[in-house]
Amino acid sequence: MEDKARKFHNSWGKNLGKTITEKILSSASGREVSAGDIVVAPIDLAMAQDGTAPLAIKAFREMGGKRVWDQKKIVLIIDHVAPSTSEGTSQLHQLMREFALEQKVKLYDVGAGICHQVLPEEGFVKPGSVIVGADSHTCTYGALGVLATGIGSTEMAAVFLSGKLWFKVPETIRCNIRGRLPKGAMAKDVILHVIGKVKADGATYKAMEFCGPTVKKMSIASRMTLCNMAVEMGAKTGIIAPDEKVKEYLEGKVGGKFPLIASDEDAKYGDVLDFDVSELEPQVAKPQAVDNVSPVGEIEGVDVDQVFLGSCTNGRIEDLRAAASMLEGRKVKEGTRMLVVPASRKVYLQAMGEGLIKTFIDAGCIICSPGCGPCMGGHIGILGPGEVCVATSNRNFLGRMGSEKAKIYLASPLTAAASAVAGKIIDPRKLMR
């Protein structure tokens, strides 16, 4: 299968009318496919975290599994409730450690960081690959030119056994983004704006392909923010054609050659969307839906109890730098607390080296160990009834971070940090120096 797929990949010519997603699944399945086709594709990497891996391991056993199909292509990560907060959670962590030792698969334990940050950092993500993760935000890896999607725990057990999975080739929505981002606006503002227009179900089972001059200029971290939240529109995956920035990012991480695949000029799209962000204001997703988006200026003045900087959406070094630039020489408002959770140990160490951690501590922030932190309400930073949180994470559903009577506003690192200083939601441009 692999040799056939590789030969087929090399036979591609120009202007065959294929999207990048169709090309990756054509290469993987060893035959030319188009949107709507059903394919069985070999998996290049499978990942599960502590919220999903225990169920996958149990299902693997129930299916009669003895050995995984390829120990080098499976990664387990303990990141969601890490360190453990209960005996029950500790038992789940123990199950993962025992399974990893038995099967000789790679396990990243407590403190390594969030799966969607660790895997790219450690060289597991390679352009042109097919990656599945038992986590809905696996689509983050699409920033590196990968077909990456989230699957259920039972599906993951089947992958552990066979190394294959069936897919319906998704139709692609091309999202062209142009315009120079104005002061105070970040990639998070761009994707919130897009989600606000497309809506939560506007890209259901589609591949959301981000392109255009604005995306080209974005860092890999910013591109990861875009792809991370594609699933909030219902998308099967988010993807960006790999370029020289991707090659530079992967240098020293990924061995061997990999294709810089791009969609053909005459590729067929289900829809083409155009966004000019040259006058984009900082955006906020209001409770209780990610697509309930408005410019921050429309809701300024809402009192804030907690600010959360981190998550697989915005816990990378550029996000910490942006927040630290806002907090330098300032204090978090009395009555407001700010939690800072680096996305990985490497990000934490880099932030320490750059003096960012000191800036956060001097400002009165609470620094937490790398991981998912407050994002899904299973760990630190649980919200109480009536509390308001501004978070740089990806979801603000009812009860997401604790009490169903709490309210979560999603925003960029700049807006989050500015709101911590003000003690209320505020346009970060008012505090930028």
In this predicted structure, the answer to whether residue 134 has a pLDDT above a threshold of 60 is: yes
pLDDT for residue 256: 80
* Domain final residue, candidates 275, 304, 331: 275
What are the tens digits of pLDDT across the range 189-212? 999 999 999 999 999 999 999 999
Q: Is 53 found in the same domain as 164?
A: yes
pLDDT for residue 259: 82
Q: Is 188 found in the same domain as 145?
A: yes
Averaged pLDDT for residues 149-158: 97
Q: Is 291 found in the same domain as 249?
A: no
In this predicted structure, the answer to whether residue 7 has a pLDDT above a threshold of 70 is: no
In this predicted structure, the answer to whether residue 96 has a pLDDT above a threshold of 70 is: yes
Q: Which domain holds residue 164?
A: 2-275
pLDDT for residue 226: 98
Residues in contact with 143: Cβ distance below 8 Å, sequence separation at least 6, in sequence order = 220, 223, 224, 226, 227, 238, 240
In this predicted structure, the answer to whether residue 121 has a pLDDT above a threshold of 70 is: yes
Report which of 7, 228, 11 is spatially closest to residue 133, judged by C-alpha positions: 228
Q: Is 258 found in the same domain as 291?
A: no
Which single residue is written with the structure tokens 């984009």?
Answer: 280
| Sequential DSSP letters for 146-168 | -EEEE--HHHHHHHHHHSEEEEE
Q: Is 358 found in the same domain as 227?
A: no
Report which of 113, 164, 103, 115 is spatially closest to residue 139, judged by C-alpha positions: 115
Averaged pLDDT for residues 171-199: 98
Q: How many domains is the chain built from?
A: 2
Pairing outcome for strands 38-42 and 147-150: unpaired
Query: Measuring CA to CA, how many Å separate 254 from each of 119, 127, 153, 247, 257?
Result: 11, 10, 27, 9, 9
Q: Is 328 found in the same domain as 249?
A: no
Residue 267 belongs to domain with CATH number: 3.30.499.10
Q: Is 248 found in the same domain as 358?
A: no
Say what percent of the chain tops pLDDT 90: 94
Report which of 224, 264, 219 is spatially closest to residue 244, judged by C-alpha positions: 219
* Domain final residue, candidates 217, 251, 275: 275
Element (H, E) at 96: helix 87-103
Q: Is 263 found in the same domain as 297?
A: no
pLDDT for residue 13: 42
280-316: burial string, b at 16+ Cβ within 10 Å, e else: bbbbbbbbbbbbbbebbeeeeeeebbbbbbbbbbbbb
Averaged pLDDT for residues 108-127: 97
Averaged pLDDT for residues 95-114: 98
Q: Is 61 found in the same domain as 23?
A: yes
What are the tens digits of pLDDT across the range 306-348? 999 999 999 999 999 999 999 999 999 999 999 999 999 999 9
Report which of 284, 310, 283, 229 is spatially closest to residue 409, judged by C-alpha positions: 284
Q: Is 136 found in the same domain as 12?
A: yes
Helices (H) and strands (E) in the chain, counts: 15, 18
Find the range with the poorest average confidence among 129-138, 253-262, 368-377: 253-262
In this predicted structure, the answer to whether residue 254 has a pLDDT above a threshold of 60 is: yes
What are the tens digits of pLDDT across the range 61-93? 999 999 999 999 999 999 999 999 999 999 999
Distance from C-alpha of 154 to C-alpha of 168, rounded to nearest angstrom: 18
Confidence of residue 268 (pLDDT cuts 50, 70, 90): very high
Q: Is 83 found in the same domain as 26?
A: yes
pLDDT for residue 379: 83
In this predicted structure, the answer to whether residue 15 has a pLDDT above a threshold of 80 is: no
- Do the Cβ atoms of 47 and 75 come closer than 8 Å? yes
* Domain final residue, candidates 234, 254, 275: 275
Q: Who has greater pLDDT, 399 or 256? A: 399
Q: Is 289 found in the same domain as 151?
A: no
Element (H, E) at 48: strand 45-49
Q: How many other CB atoms are there within 10 angstroms of residue 94's CB atom? A: 12
pLDDT for residue 4: 40
Q: Who has greater pLDDT, 408 or 255? A: 408
pLDDT for residue 90: 97
Q: CB burial class (10 A; 0-12, 13-18, 19+) of residue 252?
A: exposed
**What is the pTM assigned to this prediction?**
0.94
In this predicted structure, the answer to whether residue 3 has a pLDDT above a threshold of 80 is: no
Averaged pLDDT for residues 339-363: 98
